[in-house]
Amino acid sequence: MTKIFMAAFAIVRGGANSWFLRSVNSLFLMGLAIPLQATIIPVYLIIISLQLYDTLLAIILPSIAFAIPLSVLVLANFIRDVPAELFDSMRVDGASEWAMLWRLAFPLTKPALLTVTIYNALTIWNGFLLPLVLTQTPNKRTLPLALWTFQGQYSVNIPAVLASVLLTTLPILLLYIIGRRQMVSGLSAGFSK
């Protein structure tokens, strides 16, 4: 997450002056336009060629790749909301870009970081298509895919499905209860202007 935060900071603080950073920002924006379902065959072929099929890395690497564009966009918008006068005053005090990143931008965008983390965790936790296509053995299944196996051809074990759904939602519910204040302030901070 820190590398994504640093990329967002570089795009915001240096994007107006550098054609490279503007093109990287455009590349991240294009990444938002490509849905996972449209790329499942190329992702499958890449995973097969890397000999990662039926491993946890086969699920982790594409999940990270598809989480990066939205994360950078959200974090860049939050860093843009930090007043430029704060950066200017730190520069007058002799702070480097690195110090401004970690001492100013990072503490002020903690709600955005938590929001992005929770959103990405929910997306990965509820992932169904990647584990379905990229894994085969039952011990590599994610929870949504394991829930799908409770369905038989002619019947459904409803008590087992309901108990499994409850157990599946408990970790995400606990994460929300712990971080709801930061998440709500992170979601509503962009609407203040």
pLDDT in tens, 86-134: 999 999 999 898 999 999 999 888 888 888 988 898 888 888 899 999 9
- H runs (alpha helix) in the chain: 2-14, 19-32, 40-49, 57-81, 84-92, 97-100, 106-108, 110-125, 129-134, 143-148, 158-188
Count of structural domains within the chain:
1
**Cα–Cα distance between 32 and 18 in angstroms, integer?**
22
- Domain limits for position 133: 2-191
* φ/ψ of residue 124, rounded to 5: -75, -40
Given pLDDT bands bounded at 50, 70 and 90, which one contains residue 23? confident
**End-to-end distance of the chain based on CA atoms, in angstroms?**
27
Give the domain CATH number at 162.
Answer: 1.10.3720.10
Q: How confident is the model over 147-181, as pLDDT tens digits?
A: 887 777 678 878 888 888 888 888 888 877 887 77
Contact 90, 98 (CB under 8 A): no
Question: Which residues face 156 on adjacent strands?
Answer: 151
